[in-house]
């Protein structure tokens, strides 16, 4: 990887993309305000926000590669799908790491992800597209991986498929997502090919598929657990808009955080650093909470309701 920087710690550019879209688009600003108001109302109205049957999200994986080793295998792609379905259904074995104080908060999202079996024209597909590119790497700044004209791959309709691009990312970036409310042509998730799945090119400490779990959490409208206020003088002023995740000062990183890790007067239990929406290494993040699940369900009952209404494409 001479042209690329190997990620040494977790980095996610979702918040950067969010801030860029807020600056550039009044339509996005208005949409985000409406979505957050809708989310709040749905989370307060449990009858309207109830999801009792498993929601199956059709996913299309766009592999965009420059060097042959970046053209990941079907086995690697399937390993990532397996991780997503264990993590989002709370069936991951390492959920046992959750401290006893929080075990009652661990929640099954009732969301599963399956490679699409029909393409936008109704033809049979394996849910994977493969594109060779002349670009050495991609950045979140321009979303160029999401367009064939700029060296990437065009998305499938964003109201019918979760588009996920796997590619070489520059600057040590692991991945990023677009919150609901953004442009359809850039809606989806991008993951570095060395942080995708559990086999092949996946490299420790990001080789357990949790980068995709984290980023799809964003796609379903979850925020970082510390509220993205780490650059402010008062690092305890932000919020992820979920009541059962403790307020914390900054992202936790690596794999050496010991429970309890107290910040923001959040004792005695401290930071929920084992949450998928923190920045710890893959082997440490193991859970979503009930409140986070409620927020994801509000997303599916709100801005991403097309995934509840469409014919099954998986």
* Confidence label for 84 from pLDDT (cuts 50, 70 and 90): very high
In this prediction, residues 100-106 reach a mean pLDDT of 98
Q: What is the pLDDT of residue 311?
A: 60
Tens of pLDDT along 160-214? 999 999 999 999 999 999 999 999 999 999 999 999 999 999 999 999 999 999 9
Residue 15 bears catalytic tag: no
* Whether residue 304 has pLDDT greater than 60: yes
Which of 15, 170, 185, 215 does the annotation list as catalytic?
Answer: 215
Among 243, 297, 287, 228, CA closest to 12: 228
Sequence-ordered alpha helix ranges (H) in the chain: 14-24, 26-44, 74-88, 210-219, 290-301, 306-309
Spatial contact of 113 and 59, defined as CB atoms under 8 Å apart: yes
Q: What is the pLDDT of residue 94?
A: 98
Q: Is the dihedral of CA 42, 48, 52, 53 positive or negative?
A: negative
Distance of CA 48 to the CA centre of its chain: 24
Q: What is the pLDDT of residue 1?
A: 36
Q: What is the pLDDT of residue 231?
A: 78
* Confidence label for 107 from pLDDT (cuts 50, 70 and 90): very high
Distance of CA 228 to the CA centre of its chain: 15
Q: Which two tokens stand for residue 16?
A: 């950067």
- State the first-to-last Cα distance of the chain, in angstroms, to the nearest integer: 35
In this prediction, residues 94-121 reach a mean pLDDT of 98
* Confidence label for 143 from pLDDT (cuts 50, 70 and 90): very high
Share of the chain above pLDDT 70, in %: 97
* Confidence label for 2 from pLDDT (cuts 50, 70 and 90): very low
The region of weakest confidence among 2-16, 73-87, 203-217, 265-279 is 2-16
Residue 60 to residue 279: CA distance in whole angstroms: 26
Q: What is the pLDDT of residue 229?
A: 87
Phi-psi region of 96 (alpha: psi -120 to 50; beta: other; left: phi over 0): alpha
* Whether residue 81 has pLDDT greater than 70: yes
Residue 71 to residue 75: CA distance in whole angstroms: 12
Spatial contact of 85 and 140, defined as CB atoms under 8 Å apart: no
Residue 59's SS3 state is strand
Return the number of other C-beta atoms located less than 10 Å from residue 100's C-beta: 6
What mean pLDDT, rounded, does the chain reach?
95
Among 113, 114, 109, CA closest to 90: 109
Nearest-5° angle of CA 15, CA 21, CA 16? 25
Return the number of other C-beta atoms located less than 10 Å from residue 274's C-beta: 21
Contacts of 68 (CB under 8 A, 6+ apart): none
Distance of CA 283 to the CA centre of its chain: 16
Does the predicted model carry a pTM greater than 0.75? yes
Tens of pLDDT along 13-67? 999 999 999 999 999 999 999 999 999 999 999 999 999 999 999 999 999 999 9
* Confidence label for 312 from pLDDT (cuts 50, 70 and 90): low
* Whether residue 314 has pLDDT greater than 60: no
Annotate 76-112 with DSSP letters as a single string: HHHHHHHHHHHHHTT--GGGGGS-GGGGGGB----EE
Percentages helix, strand, coil for the chain (3-state, rounded to 5) are: 30, 15, 55
Residue 93 to residue 156: CA distance in whole angstroms: 33
Q: What letter would DSSP give residue 307?
A: H
Q: What is the pLDDT of residue 313?
A: 61
Share of the chain above pLDDT 90, in %: 93
Residue 187 to residue 191: CA distance in whole angstroms: 13
């Amino acid at each position: 990887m001479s042209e690329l920087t190997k990620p040494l710690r977790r980095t996610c550019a979702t918040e950067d993309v969010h801030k860029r879209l807020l600056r550039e688009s009044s339509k996005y600003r208005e949409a985000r305000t409406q979505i957050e108001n809708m989310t709040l109302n749905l989370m307060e109205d449990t009858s309207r926000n109830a999801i009792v049957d498993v929601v199956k999200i059709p996913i299309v994986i766009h592999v965009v590669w420059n060097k042959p080793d970046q053209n990941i295998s079907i086995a690697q792609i399937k390993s990532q799908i397996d991780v997503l379905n264990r993590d989002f259904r709370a069936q991951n074995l390492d959920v046992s790491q959750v401290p006893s104080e929080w075990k009652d908060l661990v929640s099954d999202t009732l969301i599963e992800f399956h490679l699409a079996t029909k393409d936008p024209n109704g033809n049979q597909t394996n849910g994977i597209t493969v594109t060779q590119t002349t670009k050495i790497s991609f950045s979140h700044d321009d979303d160029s991986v999401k367009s064939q004209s700029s060296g990437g791959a065009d998305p499938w309709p964003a109201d019918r498929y979760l588009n996920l691009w796997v590619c070489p990312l520059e600057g040590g970036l692991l991945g990023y997502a677009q919150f609901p409310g953004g442009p359809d042509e850039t809606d989806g998730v991008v993951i570095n090919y060395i942080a995708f799945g559990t086999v092949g090119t996946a490299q420790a400490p990001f080789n357990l598929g949790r980068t995709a779990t984290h980023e799809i959490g964003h796609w379903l409208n979850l925020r970082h657990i510390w509220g993205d206020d780490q650059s402010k003088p008062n690092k305890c002023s932000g919020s992820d808009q979920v009541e059962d995740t403790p307020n914390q000062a900054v992202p936790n990183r690596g794999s050496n955080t010991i429970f309890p890790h107290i910040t923001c007067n959040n004792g005695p239990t401290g930071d929920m650093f084992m949450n998928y929406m923190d920045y710890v290494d893959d082997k440490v993040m193991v859970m979503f909470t009930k409140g986070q699940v409620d927020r994801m369900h509000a997303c599916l009952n709100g801005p991403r309701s097309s995934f509840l209404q469409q014919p099954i494409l998986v």
